[in-house]
A and B are shown apart, each in its own frame.
Chain A
Amino acid sequence: MKFGVVRFPGSCDEVDAQLAATRVGEAVLLWHGDRDLQGVDAVIVPGGFSYGDYLRAGAIARFSPVMESVFEFAREGGPVLGICNGFQVLCEAGLLPGALLPNVGLRFVCRQVDLEVVDPDTPFTRACARGERLSIPVKHTTGRYHPPPEGADVVLRYAPGHNPNGSEQDIAAVRNEAGNVFGLMPHPEHAVDRLTGSADGLRLFESLAVAVAA
């Protein structure tokens, strides 16, 4: 199992994502200017502020050379995980439905929250049970999910009382129709070790490793 973690200028959590992924497999960084995905089995688009995010969160990153290859990879059914800024990038690119808007509080919020697994039948959640609770932190300013009128395929919701940003229907994570592209605002890569708060996020990486092996 080989993960590729995209590194944009301005990424913050790419090394954390790489560290998390190495707990279940191999993980390499993919430079934003390169088109070569190095034969990876899954791609992670990590958190941070790609290209500074001065225009709009995720708006510039979708045009980078590496993302052209990632879109191709996704179209062919390769699993793509977008975390926080990565989720924003995938929505900007139209690989995931909906949009991410500024938090209702208009402030950055860093908080450990509980999530509920709505859909365990995805490559990203197959190690989880329906209704299971995961403790995973969020940290963002632009994380209020707004689904399209036709709705979105929800994978994770914020548990009651845990919605940190005003996301509609408490949506924390969605997938595309095919199920191979998944985006979430919480940071599973920051919940892979009880020493630093929680190991619940590891379930997502384990799910992906199992799905790729299957």
Chain B
Amino acid sequence: MSRHRELGLTDTEYELICEKLDREPNAVELAMFSLLWSEHCAYKHSRKLLRRLPTEGPNVVMGPGENAGAVDVGGGRAVAFKVESHNHPSAVEPFQGAATGVGGILRDVFAVGARPIAVLDSLRFGEPTSERSLYLLDRAVAGIGHYGNSIGVPTVGGEVYFEGPYEQNCLINAMCVGLAPRERLIRSAAAGPGNVLVLLGAATGRDGIGGASVLASAELDEADESKRPSVQIGDPFEESRLVECCLELLEDDLLVSLQDLGAAGLTSSAGEMASKGGVGLDVDVARVPLREADMEPFEVMVSESQERMLCVVAPERLDAVLERCARWEVRATAIGEVTGSQRLRVLDGPEVVGDVPVAALVDECPLYDLAPAAPAVPLYPAPTATPTGDAPLDALLALLASPNLSSRRPLFEQYDSIVQSRTVRRPEQADAAVLALEGGGAIAVSIDGSGRRVACDPRTGAMEAVFECAANLACAGAEPLGLTNCLNFGNPEKPHIAWQLERAVDGLAEACRALDVPVVGGNVSLYNEGTEGPIYPTPVVGMVGVLPDPERAGRLGFAREGDAIAIAGEFHPALPGGELAKLRGEPLPDTLPGFDAAKVRAAQGAIRDAVRAGELSSAHDIAEGGLLVAVSESCLAGGVGAALDLGPSDDPWTHVYGEGAGGFVVSGPRAALDRLAEGVPLHVFGTVGGEGLEVAIGDWRFTASLSELREAHSALVALFP
């Protein structure tokens, strides 16, 4: 009776499985159930909540439930995208954990028939003063680069934040964006009894056994070294052949359906394909190519060996498929067939070693209600203070040099951001990456989410993440079409974590509705806790939008001496919960000021239209660090100074260092800014030019040279000698 507990199933769940089978499961069946009924695969603590998210819209081609969501971008083209976590494997082995995180999300995207055209990543670590965090950062970045660079998909954007609560449980979220002719998108439902099940790609080994249950669905503890064998090893060379081969097979219409092998390996892939198609599958483990000869049937069924895909092929097309695979040197093996039985049968040669109803395995895991309760005491300690000095200029330099705000150049230079010849805006050139599309037009993509803000106020913090992404797109000139999210939270069985999760999902839903942006897919990563407590609740939001003319994609850098600089939008900054408060070691507030979603949406629309019309020289949203950090970033990106006069102020600290949603720093000819002012609150407060940043506000007067700003902003360079 204790075996199922070791595999992560409760006694009640075990009894339910016995009931559904009308007998006790054998070892193979128990292994399969333990994985598909894990949090990672069954979403048993989140599925009910996720129903609150809006998933429909006029541009949605594929919604949640497929390997990746997809939106129509016009011209008969669709863009598929999804973000997924690989947190626990990366905490145990950061290089392979991060690399296979990228490999996995790439497979999700080409599984729907789209060619991967971009990767973005969202990373969270403990403070870089910790040796362990530096090690995790260094190796995770190297792992992401290793996989993405080797496979010829550009890594075009991302974000990284450093906060104490991620010290033991780092977050590695990767997002992939793919492009396909709309009619070529393929679903994963198996169909047609008698059709052949073909396994493509790498041989199956003992790597990643129990990854979804042992690693992904439990808290991390001190003994994690022993979990190294649960981490998979990536081979981007195998995957690069697999991508090209699968896309050719789809182009020639040789497949009925296609599915990647991810968490829970063959069990999950076969189970989901059968469930979606309402059919049964026979899988013969004796026919699966193995790395080690003596693998048990259950190991073959649950191995998470990377770089594998499963497809359904009509018998008369099997030879053509095998021939195409041989040309790409991709291993292809018929391992079973589609049946009308609605059961997943596992065969070992002639012997049946497992036989379960597909529905029980895939769709009938019990879903749990959360028991949310607001925490009675603060969940997180106040951040450790960093000396910032008392003078206003000292604060600016300290903010620019802080790990959360300093230039990400030492990281993103380790990623190929230009392969595939479509990257119109690279990292640090605009608030969102911009990718030109064949046939005209472009997409802009962004990924965002501030865990600390969500820790302060889960609902408002989550709304801010969605609006921040949309603001990034607006600055590039793009209109959002769809959104993917990865919900990284602690243990949902704890009432205060359940409370964070529920409030954050409500915030996401409200923001999506306010912007009319549907959620087309995503991922949930729970149990992100170490022995010292939970991570900051971290909903990571990835957004895709379109812009008609890539030549007019926005830039964040000031471009022309003499341009006027203005703050545009509904911006009501506040210091609590912001970066300066963190540097000062202030405790997190228990709420954030809300914002008027309709007004912020209108302001984003006005900025977007001005960028698209070519009216503005630069557009940059005001995010972490506040107004002066945003202006400094525009100066550094453009290599030119600015003179600012913000007029009288009773509270210059809040004015220039406070944070909140809805503000933009824009520059351009005065007449253009006046035209923009007709559609959005706008205040001209400076001029582009000179070799430094001159600031006047209230009784403050200070100047920083560009080289001073640049030196501060380059603080991360020292971490990558």
Shortest CB-to-CB span from B561 to chain A, Å, is: 22
Query: How many of chain A's residues have a CB under 8 angstroms from any CB in B?
Result: 31
Cβ contact within 8 Å between A52 and B235:
yes
Taking a contact as CB atoms closer than 8 A, the residue among B240, B413, B415, B418 that contacts A9 in the complex is B240
Q: Is B328 an interface residue (CB 8 A)?
A: yes
Q: Mark B386-421, 1 if CB is under 8 A from A, else 0.
A: 000000000000000000000000001111111111
Q: Is A111 an interface residue (CB 8 A)?
A: yes
Taking a contact as CB atoms closer than 8 A, the residue among A48, A107, A139 that contacts B720 in the complex is A107
Cβ contact within 8 Å between A49 and B150:
yes
Q: Mark A96-126, 1 if CB is under 8 A from B, else 0.
A: 0000000001011111000000000000000
Q: Which residues of B, 418-439, contact A by the 8 Å Cβ criterion? A: 418-424, 426, 436
Cβ contact within 8 Å between A137 and B150:
no
A195: which B residues are within 8 A, CB to CB?
Answer: 424, 436, 550-551
Q: Is A73 an interface residue (CB 8 A)?
A: no
Known contacts: A12-B152, A108-B149. The answer to whether A137 contacts B237 by CB under 8 A is no
Cβ contact within 8 Å between A48 and B152:
yes
Cβ contact within 8 Å between B329 and A9:
yes
Taking a contact as CB atoms closer than 8 A, the residue among B151, B414, B420, B424 that contacts A108 in the complex is B414
Q: Is B241 an interface residue (CB 8 A)?
A: yes
Q: Is B680 an interface residue (CB 8 A)?
A: no
Tell me the total A-B contact number using a CB cutoff of 8 A.
Answer: 86
Query: Smallest CB-CB separation from A54: which chain B residue?
Result: B237
Cβ contact within 8 Å between B413 and A110:
yes
Give me 10 other A-B pairs in contact (C-beta within 8 A), A9-B241, A197-B423 excluded.
A9-B329, A12-B240, A15-B421, A16-B420, A49-B237, A52-B236, A53-B150, A111-B413, A190-B421, A197-B418
A170: which B residues are within 8 A, CB to CB?
Answer: none
Q: Is A206 an interface residue (CB 8 A)?
A: no
Q: Mark B228-240, 1 if CB is under 8 A from A, else 0.
A: 0000000111101
What are 7 A-B contacts defined by CB distance under 8 Å? A52-B236, A52-B237, A108-B149, A137-B418, A190-B418, A190-B419, A197-B426
Q: Which residues of A, 7-28, contact B by the 8 Å Cβ criterion? A: 9-13, 15-16, 19-20
Cβ contact within 8 Å between B145 and A108:
yes
List the 7 closest pairs (A to B, CB-CB), nearest first.
Answer: A52-B237, A12-B152, A16-B421, A49-B150, A139-B416, A108-B414, A108-B145
Taking a contact as CB atoms closer than 8 A, the residue among B150, B415, B418, B720 that contacts A196 in the complex is B418
A48: which B residues are within 8 A, CB to CB?
Answer: 152
Taking a contact as CB atoms closer than 8 A, the residue among B142, B422, B423 that contacts A107 in the complex is B142
Query: Smallest CB-CB separation from A191: which chain B residue?
Result: B418
Cβ contact within 8 Å between B421 and A107:
no
Q: Is A92 an interface residue (CB 8 A)?
A: no
- Cα separation A10 to B413 with both chains bound (whole Å): 21
B236: which A residues are within 8 A, CB to CB?
Answer: 49, 52
Shortest CB-to-CB span from A171 to chain B, Å, is: 21
Q: Mark A159-173, 1 if CB is under 8 A from B, else 0.
A: 000000000000000
Shortest CB-to-CB span from A89 to chain B, Å, is: 16
Cβ contact within 8 Å between B436 and A196:
yes
B241: which A residues are within 8 A, CB to CB?
Answer: 9-10
Q: Is A71 an interface residue (CB 8 A)?
A: no
Shortest CB-to-CB span from A190 to chain B, Å, is: 5
- Cα separation A22 to B236 with both chains bound (whole Å): 29
- Cα separation A110 to B426 with both chains bound (whole Å): 11
Known contacts: A110-B415, A195-B550. The answer to whether A10 contacts B240 by CB under 8 A is yes
Q: Is A189 an interface residue (CB 8 A)?
A: yes
Q: Mark A39-67, 1 if CB is under 8 A from B, else 0.
A: 00000000011011110000000000000
Shortest CB-to-CB span from B143 to chain A, Å, is: 11
Taking a contact as CB atoms closer than 8 A, the residue among B418, B424, B436 that contacts A110 in the complex is B418
Cβ contact within 8 Å between B414 and A109:
yes
- Cα separation A185 to B704 with both chains bound (whole Å): 38
Query: Smallest CB-CB separation from B240: which chain A residue?
Result: A10
Q: Output the residue of A12, A16, A197 with the most chain B CB within 10 A.
A: A12
- Cα separation A20 to B238 with both chains bound (whole Å): 27
Shortest CB-to-CB span from A152 to chain B, Å, is: 27
B152: which A residues are within 8 A, CB to CB?
Answer: 11-13, 48
B720: which A residues are within 8 A, CB to CB?
Answer: 105, 107
B328: which A residues are within 8 A, CB to CB?
Answer: 9
Known contacts: A48-B152, A52-B150. The answer to whether A189 contacts B240 by CB under 8 A is no
A187: which B residues are within 8 A, CB to CB?
Answer: 418
A16: which B residues are within 8 A, CB to CB?
Answer: 419-421
Q: Which residues of B, 126-180, contact A by the 8 Å Cβ criterion? A: 142, 145, 149-152
Cβ contact within 8 Å between A15 and B420:
yes
Cβ contact within 8 Å between B421 and A139:
no
B415: which A residues are within 8 A, CB to CB?
Answer: 108, 110
Query: Smallest CB-CB separation from B553: which chain A residue?
Result: A195
B142: which A residues are within 8 A, CB to CB?
Answer: 107
- Cα separation A192 to B145 with both chains bound (whole Å): 24
Known contacts: A107-B142, A111-B413, A195-B436. The answer to whether A10 contacts B237 by CB under 8 A is yes
